[in-house]
Structure 1
Amino acid sequence: MDAGNRTIRDASARDAEACAAIYAPYVTDTAISFESEPPSAAEMAERITAANRTHAWLVLEEAGTVVGYAYGSPFKSRAAYRWSCEVSVYLDATRRRTGGGRALYLALFDRLAGRGFRTAVAGMTLPNEASAGLHHAMGFEPVGTYRQIGWKHGAWRDVAWVQRTLVPAGEEPAEPDTQPA
């Protein structure tokens, strides 16, 4: 997807440093991520490769600079869940509320549906009005909240879970395409 100076494309290991830099403040400065240490560029490269192998990882570029990313990953490892995936989106702090999250999610949903996934789920540490607003606007519906499920920055945190249909369930589905492209 290309809109003006904005491009959404498949991520590769060469995007790992930029993605790690975008994600690090979420880890260190907020309770949005439950990780305690930001992943290195090498770890992020492994995550990108793994996500692309079975689901998708997309980056948003503005004027040639990666300013956000979104990815899908397995929801649960049990076979019956294989048509469902967990999704996340992260934007550089200077690019929030600019439509980048929406654009990334729309492209990601198309990619995941094309691979045969039926349902996307997302978890959000509460409170997080920006994420809640984005997910609501993208058609996610609340399905539950884990109360006091994680401890970060000196407090117990709740996590709200939402889900969205990517493709109507219908009859018996074909296997999702989780083979590397």
Structure 2
Amino acid sequence: MIRTVKLEDAQEIAEIYNYYILNSCVTFEEIPVSNEEMGERIQAAHSKFPWLVYEKGKEIIGYAYASVWKPRSAYKYTIESTVYLKKEARKKGIGSLLYKELLMQIRDLGFHAVIGGISLPNEASVALHEKFGFEKIAQFKEVGYKFKKWIDVGYWELLINKNSI
């Protein structure tokens, strides 16, 4: 079931996210976040943008949210989207369900452009974004350094008014 995030979800969300911090290059954070810090992030973003969780039984197995793309005022109709799943929940369609709902809420809020930043290579994330009509618009070479290697980042964009979700 997809539902709106609650502050009480911070611990489970932090656990999901911290797996990626410690074991992958999909996030450029290198230090695990505390439950309190995740709670602060939820409060800050959820007051302005959609933040959703996928719950099965009483367990959160994935989440997706939107956040500010850039802080300058002319960017006010552009938003960044993010999705994370528990490792064992990948490749089961849950990311697609979360992303579909997130994009519908973003559209309903009147945003125009959605940006997805993807550390490369990441075939699963690229496939998810392109499934929803995102187009690759940029790639920055070696802009991140994690686990003793340089990482490229690609940007995919969806003009939400031009595509049906």
TM-score past 0.5 threshold: yes
| Aligned counterparts of 2:64 and 2:143: Cα–Cα separation in 1 | 24
2:82 counterpart SS class: strand
Residue 4 of structure 2 is matched in structure 1 by 10
Q: What one-letter code is carried by the residue in structure 1 that aligns with 2:8? A: R
Q: Which of the numbers 131, 140, 147 marks the counterpart of 1:137?
A: 131
Residue 173 of structure 1 is matched in structure 2 by none
Asked whether 1:53 is paired with 2:38, we answer no
8 Å contact 1:16–1:48 — kept in the other structure?
Answer: yes
5+ long unaligned stretches in structure 2: none
Asked whether 1:123 is paired with 2:117, we answer yes
Identity between Structure 1 and Structure 2 (%): 38
User: Which has more radius of gyration?
Assistant: 1
Q: What one-letter code is carried by the residue in structure 2 that aligns with 1:14? A: E
| Aligned counterparts of 2:144 and 2:61: Cα–Cα separation in 1 | 28
Q: Which of the numbers 82, 90, 94 marks the counterpart of 1:100?
A: 94
RMSD: 1.2
Residue 30 of structure 2 is matched in structure 1 by 36
Residue 146 of structure 2 is matched in structure 1 by 152
CA deviation vs aligned residue, 1:151-175 (integer Å, no higher than 9, x gap): 000011000000112224xxxxxxx
5+ long unaligned stretches in structure 1: 1-6, 169-181
Aligned length: 163
2:117 counterpart SS class: strand
Residue 67 of structure 1 is matched in structure 2 by 61
8 Å contact 1:12–1:45 — kept in the other structure?
Answer: no
Displacement after TM superposition at 1:102 (Å): 0.6
Displacement after TM superposition at 1:62 (Å): 1.1
Displacement after TM superposition at 1:64 (Å): 2.2
CA deviation vs aligned residue, 1:27-49 (integer Å, no higher than 9, x gap): 01111110011111111111111
CA deviation vs aligned residue, 1:46-95 (integer Å, no higher than 9, x gap): 11111111111100011221000000001001111100000100000010
Q: What one-letter code is carried by the residue in structure 1 that aligns with 2:29? A: E
CA deviation vs aligned residue, 1:89-142 (integer Å, no higher than 9, x gap): 000001001111111011111111121111110111111111111111121100
Asked whether 1:114 is paired with 2:102, we answer no
Q: TM-score, normalised by structure 2?
A: 0.95
Residue 20 of structure 1 is matched in structure 2 by 14
